[in-house]
Amino acid sequence: MSRRECLEAVAAALSSGQTFLATTHVRPDGDALGSLTALMLGLETLGKTVHAYTEDAPAAMYHFLPAIGRIGVGPPPPDLGSAVDAAIALDCASLDRAGALRKHLVAAPRLISVDHHSDGVPFGDVRCTDGDASSTAELMMELLVDIMGVGLTMELATCLLAGHVFDTGRFSQSNATPTAFRNAARLVEAGADPEAIVRDMHDTMPLHRLRLKGRALERAEIDETSGLTWSLLSRDDFASLSARPEDAEGIVVDLRVVAGSSAAALISEVKPRECRVSMRSRGDDVDVARLAMHFGGGGHTRAAGCTIEAPPDEAIRLLLQAAREHLAAGPE
Ligand code: 5GP
Ligand code: MN
């Protein structure tokens, strides 16, 4: 099925319902939340009711998104899943990515999935998964505006542009395709403000977060064998700066700049025997999703993540060992 055909099937499923439960993945990012708020605004314009929930609270950097304050955080009322006409999961490569929302999604009479991961486990009665899309927001724009005829207001354009900006690394990665740029032009014409979006989403942070970044940068190391630049933030770092694990989001991008490295990884000790690893590759010839999958995580070629159930020293050892095996450039 072509992208247009599967999006038309999603549009038909949305058109035939009146009330929806919608969610996105745990620790939602700019594409996840841009897509979710776009869905809320779009379906509400069509006179429908959307109950949006995420397992984790949207980080402060996303508070500028219209409708963000109407996303419920945590579990929805227990009977909501069975009371709606359909449930919708956005930007979820697999059903597990919805976290605790999963059981509410599967309780709905119909489950719809829209996603752009190519490494996932597709799910849903009606779904559109297109790994060629720059972002889930790109699919949502085609779905809502081009197929369902929702007017492109400034608010909707802001949500959709935020998703594109986030997932293309501010239009700097290989998924910044001609389609993504064409969409951006339409969204800016509709009133979205790219400068304000980038400032709010990427160029604004509390002082403790800047200091957390400082610690990660200061401690950066490069593993010569794999070319992985890596750093660690310990529980002490987070505690002494009154920072939370989500404050480490995005720091890995600053580690990726090291000349001669193939990829970067930031290890955050979130619990005594639990380390979150965030990874970014420097080029399409290095696939960090493979490295993440080695530890049961996943993602895209250029951006991936996983959790390693081990204390930091052990997590670093395991990560470097796996990096030496999986980060070789080029086809296997
Ligand atoms: P981040 O480094 O920003 O946390 O994650 C980068 C990308 O990797 C996300 O957009 C997501 O696609 C993927 N990702 C991160 N953590 C996980 C994980 O634990 N499991 C899976 N399957 N994907 C992940
Ligand atoms: Mn995405």
Residue nearest to ligand 1 atom 23, measured at CA: 298
Residue 55 near residue 84 (C-beta atoms within 8 A): no
Query: Is residue 331 one of the residues assigned to a domain?
Result: no
Q: 193 and 221 share a domain?
A: no
What residue type is 252 in one-letter code? V
155 part of a folded domain: yes
Query: Dihedral through CA 128, CA 133, CA 134, CA 137, nearest 10?
Result: -40
Compute, in angstroms, the gap from residue 55 CA to the centroid of ligand 1: 15
Final residue in a domain of this structure, among 150, 172, 201 = 201
DSSP 33: H
Please determine, for residue 103, whether its predicted confidence score (pLDDT) is greater than 60.
yes
pLDDT at 203: 93
- pLDDT, tens digit (0-9, with 9 covering 90-100), for 273-332: 999 999 999 988 999 999 999 999 998 888 999 999 999 999 999 999 999 999 975 444
Query: Is there an atom of ligand 1 within 6 Å of 323 CB?
Result: no
Last residue within a domain, chosen from 142, 173, 201: 201
Q: What is the pLDDT of residues 42-78, one digit of tens each?
A: 999 999 999 999 999 999 899 999 999 999 999 999 9
Domain encompassing residue 280: 207-326
Q: What is the pLDDT of residue 330?
A: 46
Instruction: Give yes or no: residues 239 and 321 share one domain.
Output: yes
How many domains does the chain divide into?
A: 2
How many angstroms does the Cα of residue 297 sit away from the middle of ligand 1?
A: 7
Q: Whose CA is nearest to atom 11 of ligand 1?
A: 299
CATH code, domain carrying 240: 3.10.310.30
Residues 220, 195 share a domain: no
- Asked if 111 and 216 sit in the same domain, the reply is no
Confidence class for position 246, pLDDT limits 50, 70, 90 = confident
Q: What does DSSP assign to residue 147?
A: I
Q: Is the CB of 298 under 6 A from ligand 1?
A: yes
Ligand nearest to the CA of 307: 1
Q: What pLDDT sits at residue 118?
A: 86
Region 13-17 average pLDDT: 98
How much is the average pLDDT of 198-202? 96
* Mean pLDDT across 238-256: 94
Atom of ligand 1 nearest to the CA of 25: 11
* Predicted confidence band of residue 143 (pLDDT cuts 50, 70, 90): very high
* Dihedral (Cα; 252, 255, 261, 264), 10-degree rounding: -20
Give the pLDDT of residue 300: 86
Please name which of 223, 232, 229, 231 lies closest in space to residue 256, comparing C-alpha atoms.
229
Question: Are both 236 and 122 inside the same structural domain?
Answer: no
Let me know whether 82 and 109 are in one domain.
Answer: yes
124 lines ligand 1 (CB under 6 A): no
DSSP secondary structure code for residue 296 in this structure: T
**Distance between CA atoms of 139 and 128, rounded to whole angstroms?**
8
Number of H helices, E strands in the chain: 13, 12
Give the burial class of 191: count Cβ atoms within 10 A of its Cβ; 0-12 exposed, 13-18 middle, 19 or more buried.
middle
Q: Give the percent of the chain with pLDDT over 70.
A: 98
Confidence (pLDDT) at 329: 56
Q: Tell me: do 34 and 176 sit in the same domain.
A: yes
- 59 & 189 share domain: yes
What is 143-190 written as a DSSP string?
IIIIIT-----HHHHHHHHHHHHHHTTTTTSTT--HHHHHHHHHHHHT
| Domain end position, chosen among 156, 182, 201 | 201
* Nearest residue to 262 via CA among 221, 294, 285, 228: 228
CA of 14 to the centre of ligand 2 (A): 21
Confidence of residue 163 (pLDDT cuts 50, 70, 90): very high
Domain holding 9: CATH number?
3.90.1640.10
Residues 59 and 186 in one domain: yes
Share of the chain above pLDDT 90, in %: 93
150 lines ligand 1 (CB under 6 A): no
pLDDT (mean) for 247-252: 92
